[in-house]
Amino acid sequence: MSFHSVQSAFVFYKEHSRLTGFDVVKKRAKKIGGQIKYVTFGCDKCRKSKARNQSKRIDCKARVNCHLMTDGSCMVTTVILEHNHELDPTLSCFLHRKLSRTLKRSLIAHDIAGLRPSKSIRLLKVEAGGLERMRFTSKDCRNYILQQ
C-alpha cells in the first residue's frame, strides 16, 4: 500500500485506530543524510513502562512501518495488527478529541455574543446530532473558551 506522503499515511492509520478503539503515536523516524527514510506508527501503549506502578505503557506490538521513496511518496512495508490489550471503540471519542476550526470560530462568536458556555455547548451538541457524534467533550469547549 502506498500514500502520497507520510502525513496521509498517518491520517489513514489514525482513522483506522479511531474505528477500532485505540490511539496512535509516531514511534520513530530514521534519518539518513538529513532526510527521513523510515517512519513507524504504533499503538499509544507501545512502549515499556519504566516505573513500578502501573502505566498505560504495556509494550503493545501493533505498528505500521513506512519507507519513504525518493519522489516523496510513502510505501507501507510492515503491518502488525495484533494488540496485547483490549480494544474498545466506544472510548475512541475520548482518544481522538479534536475541536475543528469551525467549532472554534462558533465558540468564539457565541462568547462574544454573550452566550454562556453551557448554552453554547448544548447548541453544538444539537448541531452535531447528539453527544455520541461529537468528537470533543464539553470540558474541551470550556477550556478553549477560557484560553481565549
Domain segments of the chain as ranges: 2-89, 97-147
And the C-alpha cell for 124?
Answer: 453544538
For residue 52, report the phi and psi dihedrals to the nearest 5 degrees. -75, -35
What pLDDT was estimated at residue 69? 86
Q: Give the position of cell 491520517.
A: 11
**pLDDT (mean) for 135-145:** 81
For the beta sheet containing 24-32, the strands, ordered from the edge strand earlier in sequence to the opposite edge, are: 2-3, 74-80, 63-68, 35-43, 24-32
E strands, 44-136, are 63-68, 74-80
94, pLDDT greater than 70: no
b/e per residue, 19-45, with b = 16+ CB within 10 A?
eeebbbbebeeeeeeeeeeebbbbbbb
Mean pLDDT of 129-136: 74
Higher pLDDT, 96 or 148: 148
* C-alpha–C-alpha distance, residues 129 and 131, integer Å: 7
- Quickly tell me which residue has 474498545 as its cell: 88
Q: What is the pLDDT of residues 62-92, one digit of tens each?
A: 888 888 888 888 888 888 888 877 776 666 6
